[in-house]
Structure 1
Amino acid sequence: MTGNNNNQEISERTKRVLSIQSHVVHGYVGNKAATFPLQYQGWEVDALNTVQFSNHPGYQFFTGYSSSPNELVDIISKGLIDESELSYDAILTGYISDVEGLRKIGDLISQLCKDSKKIKWLLDPVLGDNGKLYVSEENIKIYQEILRTASIYVVTPNQFEMEVLTNVKITDLPSLRVAFEVFREHYPTIQNVVVTSVELPEHPDVLTSACSTFNNADKNKLYIDIFEVPIIPAKFSGSGDLFSAILLNNLFSYKPVPKNEGELLKSALHRTLIQEDAILKRTYELTLKEFNHTQTIDNLSIVKDLKLIQSKDLLVDESLYSNVSFKCSSI
Structure 2
Amino acid sequence: MECRVLSIQSHVVRGYVGNKSATFPLQVLGFEVDSINSVQFSNHTGGVLGQRRAHIELGALFACYAHWKGQVLKADELNVLYEGIKLNKVNHYDYILTGYSRDTSFLMAVVDIIQELKKANPSLVYVCDPVLGDHGAMYVPEELLPVYRDKVVPLADILTPNQFEAELLTGRKIRSIEDALEAMELLHKMGPKTVVLTSTDLPSNQGDQHLVALGSQKIVKPDGSLTVQKICMNIPKVDAVFVGTGDLFAALLLAWTHHHPKDLKAACEKTVSVMHHVIKRTITYANDKAGPGKRPSPAQLELRMVQSKGDIENPAIVVEANILHNS
CA contact (8 A) 1:199 1:206 kept: no
Q: How does 1:139-158 map to 2 (within 5 A)?
A: 139-147=144-152, 149-150=154-155, 152-158=156-162
Could you tell me which of 289, 293, 306 is aligned with 2:303?
A: 306
Work out which structure has the larger RCO, using CA pairs closer than 8 Å and 6 or more positions apart in sequence. 2
Equivalent residue runs for 1:42-53 within 5 Å: 42-53=30-41
2:29 touches 2:313 (CA, 8 Å); kept in 1?
yes
Task: Report runs of 4+ in structure 1 exceeding 4 Å deviation.
Answer: 215-223, 297-304
Cα deviation, residue 65, structure 1: 1.7
C-alpha displacement of 1:98: 1.1
**Within 2, Cα distance between the matches of 1:240 and 1:299?**
21
Structure 1 residue 301, shift from structure 2 partner: 12
Structure 1: gaps spanning 5 or more residues: 1-12, 255-260
Residues of 2 paired with 1:284 and 1:190: CA distance? 34
Task: Compute the RMSD of aligned alpha carbons.
Answer: 2.6
Cα distance in structure 2, aligned partners of 1:234 and 1:300? 12
Q: Higher helix share goes to which structure? A: 1
| Partner of residue 179, structure 2 | 175
Most deviating of 266-275 and 28-37: 266-275
Instruction: Please name the residue that 1:14 is paired with.
Output: 2
Q: Distance in 2 between matches of 1:221 and 1:265?
A: 12
Post-superposition CA distance 1:82-122 (Å, at most 9, x none): 33345311111111211110012112212321331121111
For residues 244 and 215 of structure 2, what CA distance do their matches in structure 1 show? 21
Match of 1:249 among 216, 230, 255: 255
Q: 1:68 aligns with which of 74, 78, 82?
A: 74
The residue aligned with 2:16 is 28
Q: For 1:99, which of 95, 99, 104 is the aligned residue?
A: 104
Amino acid at match of 1:23: H
Question: What is the Cα deviation at residue 167 of structure 1?
Answer: 1.9
**Residue aligning to 1:190:** 192
Matched residue, 2:58? none
CA distance in 2, matches of 1:296, 1:211: 38
| Distance 1:122-1:215 versus aligned 2 partners, 3 A rule | same
Q: Which structure has the bigger radius of gyration?
A: 1
261, 285, 293: which one aligns with 1:296: 293
After superposition, the Cα gap between the structure-2 partners of 1:302 and 1:310, relative to the gap in structure 1 and judged at 3 Å, is closer
Contact 2:289/2:300 (CA < 8 Å) preserved in 1?
A: no
Map 1:132-281 → 2, pairs under 5 A: 132-147=137-152, 149-150=154-155, 152-185=156-189, 187=190, 189-201=191-203, 203-216=207-220, 223-254=229-260, 263-281=262-280
TM-score (norm 1): 0.83
Amino acid at match of 1:328: N
Aligned-partner residue type, residue 266 of structure 2:
S
Q: Does the C-alpha gap of structure 1 residues 304 and 57 become closer, same or farther in structure 2, counting only changes over 3 Å?
A: farther
State the aligned residue count: 303
Say yes or no: does 1:317 pair with 2:319.
Answer: no
CA–CA separation in structure 2 for the residues paired with 1:63 and 1:141: 30
Deviations 1:55-99 (A, max 9, x none): 1111332221211101102211x1223333453111111112111
1:80 alignment partner, one of 70, 82, 85: 85
**Residues 23, 53 of structure 1: 8 Å contact kept:** yes
Name stretches of at least 5 consecutive residues in structure 2 with no aligned partner: 47-63
Q: SS at the partner of 2:71?
A: strand
What is the aligned-residue identity percentage? 35
Residues 29, 328 of structure 1: CA spacing in aligned structure 2 closer, same or farther, 3 A cutoff?
Answer: same
- TM-score w.r.t. structure 2 length? 0.84
